[in-house]
């Protein structure tokens, strides 16, 4: 396998559990703790602007309500994406993908960009996010790693910008999933921690794939997975992991 340019520890949704996920504040918290890689979720507003949000709806992590993809960016930009976590982050806005990329690149932080389409927009989202990522990271020493649960989104990303690396996200990988990864030209498998066995990791490595495991918050479990050959650990437990595994940041 080719050399893997990404750190082994990845901050889940930018700031793990200690900052409002998928915000610039979250990215900066992760950076301040020494994380050199961040995982982020990117989807499209109704008018095509790429922005950071995990859920299909606004209710859980913003002051808005209803489907996120039905709002224009101007409407989304007015929402509070921090107050749900604590008063300290009240008023933190939803960031555009462009703004997130700027903050990441300012500190040389690698990006795992999860393409997270709103329902019915898989191919459009895959294409637009890949094209925007290519522009935002033009000339970067390390390209962003695009990942998704959506095979259609990854296929569209491959067709739009084949040079950007791609990872396929699955809970428990099946034979069909390995075939899909080969078809889409994936370089990495991103699997749920409870299914990341030594045997699965060895199978992925034999197929030329790196393995990233989500979401691992227990240090002994992280040690087990790393000993089994995992290439990356995505975590919400930023403070403890940064203290326990500084050499992996």
195 is catalytic: no
Rg (CA), the chain: 17
Element spanning 27, H or E = helix 24-32
Please name which of 87, 136, 141 lies closest in space to residue 113, comparing C-alpha atoms.
136
- Specify the long-range contacts of residues 18-21, CB closer than 8 Å, at least 24 apart: 18/238, 18/239, 19/85, 19/89, 20/61, 20/81, 20/82, 20/84, 20/85, 20/89, 20/92, 21/54, 21/61
- Residue count of the chain: 249
Active site residue: 12, 190, 195, 205, which one? 12
Round to whole Å and give the CA distance between 123 and 125. Answer: 5
Catalytic residue check, 205: no
Q: Per-residue DSSP letters for 114-135?
A: EE-PPTT-HHHHHHHHHHHHHH
List 54, 190, 195, 205, catalytic entry? 54
Q: Which residues are catalytic?
A: 12, 54
């Amino acid at each position: 396998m080719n050399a893997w340019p990404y750190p082994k520890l990845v901050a889940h949704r930018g700031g793990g559990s200690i900052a409002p996920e998928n915000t610039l504040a979250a990215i900066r918290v992760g950076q301040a703790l020494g994380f050199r890689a961040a995982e982020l979720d990117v989807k499209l507003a109704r008018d095509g602007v790429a922005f950071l949000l995990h859920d299909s709806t606004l209710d859980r992590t913003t002051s808005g309500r209803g489907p996120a993809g039905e709002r224009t960016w101007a409407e989304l930009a007015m929402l509070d994406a921090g107050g749900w976590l604590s008063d300290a982050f009240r008023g933190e806005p939803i960031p555009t993908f462009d703004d997130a990329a700027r903050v990441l690149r300012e500190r040389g932080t690698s990006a795992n960009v999860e393409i997270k389409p709103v329902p019915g927009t898989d191919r459009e989202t895959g294409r637009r996010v890949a094209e925007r990522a290519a522009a935002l990271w033009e000339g970067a020493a390390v390209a962003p790693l695009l990942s998704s649960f959506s095979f259609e989104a990854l296929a569209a990303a491959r067709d739009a910008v084949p040079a950007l690396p791609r990872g396929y996200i699955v809970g428990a990988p099946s034979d069909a999933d390995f075939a899909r990864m080969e078809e889409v030209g994936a370089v990495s498998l991103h699997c749920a921690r409870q299914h990341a066995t030594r045997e699965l990791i060895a199978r992925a490595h034999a197929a030329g794939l790196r393995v990233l495991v989500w979401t691992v918050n227990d240090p002994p479990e992280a040690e087990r997975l790393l000993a089994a050959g995992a290439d990356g650990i995505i975590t919400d437990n930023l403070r403890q992991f940064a203290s326990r595994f500084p050499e992996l940041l």
